[in-house]
Amino acid sequence: MQESNTARRTFLVESADETRYLGMLLGSELEGGEVILLEGTLGAGKTTMVQGIAAGLGIHEPVKSPSFVLERIYWGRLVLHHFDFYRLTQEDIMEAGLLYDIDESAVVVIEWPERAGEALQGWTLKVTIEFYDEPVNSTRVIAENKRKITLESSDVRWVEVIEAIWRHTQQHA
């Protein structure tokens, strides 16, 4: 049986600042050409994560959700294309050609990537952000600011990035 090279690490963050910090660590590891798929419910912190990624890329302008404009582009050490596919279908995405004219040296971050279906292949990292619930008196209570953030990929290049971030957070815990 062949061993899987999938890397999967889950981080518990307790604030929006910690989410941004994790994003900054991720952004600082990027070299260009990466595609990051952000999954999570509304309000989970996807745009907050992108703010951190942008900081790691040396982008100083405010990062806003592209919900109503579909894409925002930022310039730093690398170009960052930030997409939000929440309001789109796979057909809309293909017809608009949103993923075709991107410089291969740029970083692409996509919120709601499941809307694009099979169009998103290649060097991808899946980032899942979930509300964290805690046991309180034998019930589960959603912690307002806590999130579980999972980084996952089977691409060997991402495996190295995920492990570098994991080591950094363990050394600074």
Q: Please state which of the ranges 24-33, 82-91, 96-105, 108-117 shows the lowest mean pLDDT.
A: 96-105
Average the pLDDT over 90-108 and give the result.
Answer: 79
Q: What is the pLDDT of residues 142-168, one digit of tens each?
A: 556 789 999 999 888 888 889 889 888
The reported pLDDT for the residue numbered 6 is: 78
Token code pair at residue 157 = 């290049």
Q: What is the pLDDT of residues 117-135, one digit of tens each?
A: 766 665 588 999 998 876 6
Helices 16-29 and 46-56 sit at what angle, rounded to 10 degrees?
40
Reported as type and span, the H/E element at residue 142 is strand 139-153
Where do we find the tokens 């789109």? 88
The percentage of the chain sitting over the pLDDT mark of 70, rounded to a whole number, equals: 86
The reported pLDDT for the residue numbered 173 is: 63
Q: Which domains does the chain have, with CATH numbers?
A: 11-171 (3.40.50.300)
Q: Structure pTM?
A: 0.86
Average the pLDDT over 60-85 and give the result.
Answer: 90
The reported pLDDT for the residue numbered 109 is: 93
Average the pLDDT over 44-61 and give the result.
Answer: 96
In the β-sheet with 124-136, what is the strand arrangement from edge to edge?
7-13, 139-153, 124-136, 35-39, 107-111, 79-84, 71-75
The backbone torsions φ and ψ at residue 55, rounded to the nearest 5 degrees and listed phi first, read -60, -40
Token code pair at residue 29 = 């590891």
